[in-house]
């Protein structure tokens, strides 16, 4: 009986598919930076640094969300330094889901920055915490929360 | 530091719960009448897959279910893009993609999987439907 799990890497042409481990690697970096952001926004005297770091992360999310996940700076790091140490991926993945997830990350972090600049208390910390949950789920459990949220948008008829 | 620890613990619990529930067969009721033209359904059973364009596991699930359907005569796979049929997301209460329904020849939903189905569980769900069709129960 043939195995039902696809094992061929030819699921998508190389020009279209991405290595699914690349977004997870990026999510791991994002998780560390968001954890640092959260600590900074909650420490007296470093709140402004935390908001600034959150703004930098929002720019990186915008990069991945609009230039496309394949042009993401962490993706470049992955291909340069991590991929050569791993075997080839079991299969390639459509770049649309992680690209959409980057936009979700942009909305959350940008909202945190804007609300923090407007003086809303805890806005940066809450945004960093929410984004950290999503990034950690992606990095550790391979769960793409941003991808799941797309269905919720469909249900709310917002797409 | 405590806040960070709390966020990490909550995330790990969420991740473990999601992982333990993902791709498991759940009993389901209802039918898929009107979801697609009659010719799109299998003679004995149908694997109905709800997908979205941003769904990371949908292409792999489609290949998995195609391979499964190919091994069982009279079984078809039907994939529905929810962005084209948003009313079906509400009708079947789809909260994640892929969501897979195992449907019998009378178009009754027999079991349901949230996330990419575990191969052994979707195979046994399908086999249960086919056995029942065979015995005419």
Q: CA A52 to CA A49: how far, in whole Å?
A: 5
d(CA B71, CA B65): 10
What CATH number corresponds to the domain at position B108?
Answer: 3.40.30.10
Chains A & B: contacts with CB separation below 8 Å: 102
The DSSP secondary-structure symbol of A149 reads: H
How does DSSP classify residue B97?
S
ipTM: 0.79
Please check whether residue A7 touches B, CB under 8 A.
Answer: no
Q: Is residue B64 part of a domain?
A: yes
Could you read off the pLDDT of A60-101 as tens digits, one per residue?
999 999 998 888 999 999 999 999 999 888 878 888 888 889
Min mean pLDDT across A74-83, B57-66, B107-116, B126-135 is at B126-135
| Domain residue limits at B103 | 22-135
Overall number of domains in chain B? 1
- Asked if B64's CB is within 8 angstroms of A4's CB, the reply is yes
The verdict on residue B5 lying in a domain is no
Mutation target for A interface from B5, B6, B7, B54: give the one with most A CBs within 10 A.
Answer: B54
Domains in chain A: boundaries: 16-155
Contacts of B110 (CB under 8 A, 6+ apart): B28, B102, B103, B104, B125, B128, B129
Evaluate if residue A110 carries a pLDDT over 70.
yes
Q: In this complex, do B64 and A159 lie within 8 Å of one another by their Cβ atoms?
A: no
B55 and A143 in contact by Cβ < 8 A? no
């Amino acid at each position: 009986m043939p195995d039902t799990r696809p094992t061929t890497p030819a699921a998508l042409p190389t020009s279209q598919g991405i290595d699914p481990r690349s977004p997870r690697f990026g999510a791991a970096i994002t998780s560390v930076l968001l954890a640092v952001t959260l600590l900074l926004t909650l420490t007296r005297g470093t709140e402004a640094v935390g908001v600034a770091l959150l703004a930098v992360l929002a720019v990186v999310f915008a990069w991945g969300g609009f230039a496309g996940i394949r042009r993401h700076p962490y993706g470049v790091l992955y291909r340069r330094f991590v991929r050569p140490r791993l075997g080839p991926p079991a299969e390639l993945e459509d770049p649309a889901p992680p690209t959409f997830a980057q936009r979700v990350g942009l909305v959350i972090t940008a909202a945190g920055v804007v609300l923090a600049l407007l003086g809303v208390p805890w806005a940066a910390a809450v945004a960093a915490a929410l984004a950290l949950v999503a990034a950690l789920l992606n990095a550790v459990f391979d769960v793409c929360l941003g991808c799941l949220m797309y269905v919720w948008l469909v249900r709310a008829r917002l797409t | 530091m405590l806040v960070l620890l709390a966020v990490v613990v909550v995330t790990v619990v969420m991740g473990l719960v999601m992982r333990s529930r993902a791709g498991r067969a759940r009993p389901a009721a209802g039918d898929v009448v009107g979801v697609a033209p009659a010719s799109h359904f299998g003679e004995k059973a149908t694997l109905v897959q709800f997908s979205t364009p941003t769904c990371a596991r949908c292409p792999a699930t489609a290949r998995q279910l195609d391979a499964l359907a190919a091994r069982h005569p009279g079984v078809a796979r039907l994939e529905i893009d929810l962005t084209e049929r948003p009313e079906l997301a509400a009708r079947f209460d789809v909260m994640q993609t892929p969501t897979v329904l195992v449907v019998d020849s009378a178009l009754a939903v027999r079991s349901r999987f949230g996330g990419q189905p575990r191969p052994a569980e979707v195979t046994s769900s399908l086999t249960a439907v086919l056995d029942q069709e065979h015995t005419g129960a």
